[in-house]
């Protein structure tokens, strides 16, 4: 066997080891060809590395926001109005500031989380479909802010007023700071994620995975599902469940109209190409 053959075999073996073994971070973020087949371990390692990147970004934002946790707390408690927030444990205030910083870090890191989510699924898309990365990240971040703002300015103030309005007479509302922060941020993040629905539906329509007719035929199931999702993500009361379910239904119907427009434009383009 010649030296050239030995070198060639070594290079091929190294390439096979790279794809069959554990890749490094540089290999993970390289451009993957559409017809390239990667082993399952490669995707697991890629997922691990991307999760580490996201965790590092969240940790950095957490360290930054903890310095401003007092100001953040004043912003977060504003929907409570004149109601008092108390602490019933020695360490509850400390962990409350930790919670505020952590949840705030997740919100600020959302563009990074969306980017790595898209990049993780991108190898399974066609070459022309991978160009939607920037649109997905920008639109997803904007809609997350819209959803969280909708919750902060409308759902939380009126929701707290409605729920605490039952505490009258002998019942005095005493909301602990830990419970309030967990409650409010869970709703803020939930509404931010729910407002990703138009982005998801539009992208699935562009990729040809779903059609407007198939979505419309499942409308009844979707309406029921929105109330089920709202029941899981919100406290067990009809008001907050309805307030969350209605935007989901409205977003679904709006996304359906946009997807019909996109589908019509695609059909017209295909007809033009055929002619």
Q: Does any domain span residue 254?
A: no
Domain count, the chain: 1
pLDDT exceeds 50 at position 5: no
Q: Does any domain span residue 146?
A: yes
Q: Does any domain span residue 235?
A: no
Cα 166 → chain centroid:
34
Q: Does any domain span residue 155?
A: yes
pLDDT exceeds 80 at position 18: no
Q: Does any domain span residue 176?
A: yes
What per-residue confidence (pLDDT) applies to 20? Answer: 44
Of the pLDDT bands very low, low, confident and very high (cuts 50, 70, 90), residue 38 is: low
* CB neighbour list of residue 139: distance below 8 Å, 6 or more residues apart: 199
Closest C-alpha to 46, from 23, 63, 67:
23
**Model pLDDT for residues 197-255, shown as the tens digit of each residue:** 989 888 888 877 888 888 889 899 999 999 998 888 777 677 778 888 999 999 999 98
DSSP letters, 104-116, are: HHHHHTHHHHHHH
Q: Which of 52-61, 79-88, 147-156, 201-210 has the lowest mean pLDDT?
A: 201-210
pLDDT exceeds 60 at position 119: yes
Between 213 and 18, residue with greater pLDDT: 213
Q: Does any domain span residue 14?
A: no
Closest C-alpha to 183, from 83, 33, 67:
83
Between 233 and 138, residue with greater pLDDT: 138
Residue tagged 């309030």 (tokens) = 180
Output the CA–CA distances (angstroms, integers) from residue 163 to 26, 150, 156, 181, 201, in the order listed. 52, 18, 10, 16, 33
> Which of helix, strand or coil describes residue 236?
coil
Closest C-alpha to 110, from 189, 42, 166:
189
Reading phi first (left if > 0) and then psi (alpha if -120 to 50, else beta), residue 36 is in beta
* CB neighbour list of residue 78: distance below 8 Å, 6 or more residues apart: none
What per-residue confidence (pLDDT) applies to 30? Answer: 56
| Full residue range of the structural domain in which residue 125 is found | 68-195
pLDDT exceeds 80 at position 132: no
pLDDT exceeds 50 at position 1: no
Tell me the average pLDDT of the chain.
Answer: 81
Q: Give yes or no for a contact between 254 and 273, defined as CB atoms under 8 angstroms apart.
A: no
Of the pLDDT bands very low, low, confident and very high (cuts 50, 70, 90), residue 58 is: very high
pLDDT exceeds 50 at position 66: yes
Q: Does any domain span residue 224?
A: no
Q: Does any domain span residue 90?
A: yes
* pTM, two decimal places: 0.79
What per-residue confidence (pLDDT) applies to 13? Answer: 41
């Amino acid at each position: 066997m010649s030296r050239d053959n030995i070198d060639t075999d070594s290079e091929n073996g190294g390439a096979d080891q790279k794809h069959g073994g554990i890749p490094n971070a540089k290999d993970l973020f390289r451009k993957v060809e559409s017809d390239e087949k990667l082993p399952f371990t490669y995707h697991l390692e890629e997922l691990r590395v991307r999760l580490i990147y996201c965790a590092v970004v969240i940790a950095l934002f957490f360290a930054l926001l903890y310095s401003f946790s007092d100001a953040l707390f004043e912003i977060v408690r504003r929907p409570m109005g004149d109601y008092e927030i108390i602490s019933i444990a020695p360490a509850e205030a400390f962990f409350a500031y930790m919670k505020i910083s952590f949840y705030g870090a997740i919100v600020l890191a959302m563009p990074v989380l969306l980017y790595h989510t898209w990049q993780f699924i991108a190898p399974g898309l066609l070459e022309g479909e991978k160009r939607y990365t920037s649109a997905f990240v920008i639109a997803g971040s904007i809609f997350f802010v819209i959803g969280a703002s909708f919750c902060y300015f409308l759902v939380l103030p009126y929701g707290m007023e409605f729920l605490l309005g039952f505490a009258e007479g002998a019942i005095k509302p005493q909301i602990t700071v830990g419970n309030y922060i967990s409650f409010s941020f869970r709703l803020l993040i939930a509404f931010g994620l729910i407002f990703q629905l138009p982005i998801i539906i539009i992208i699935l329509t562009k990729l040809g995975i779903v059609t407007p007719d198939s979505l419309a035929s499942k409308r009844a199931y979707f309406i029921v599902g929105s109330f089920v999702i709202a029941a899981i993500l919100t406290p067990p009361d009809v008001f907050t469940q309805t307030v969350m379910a209605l935007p989901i239904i409205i977003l679904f119907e709006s996304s359906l109209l946009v997807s019909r427009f996109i589908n019509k434009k695609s059909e017209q383009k295909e007809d033009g190409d055929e002619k």
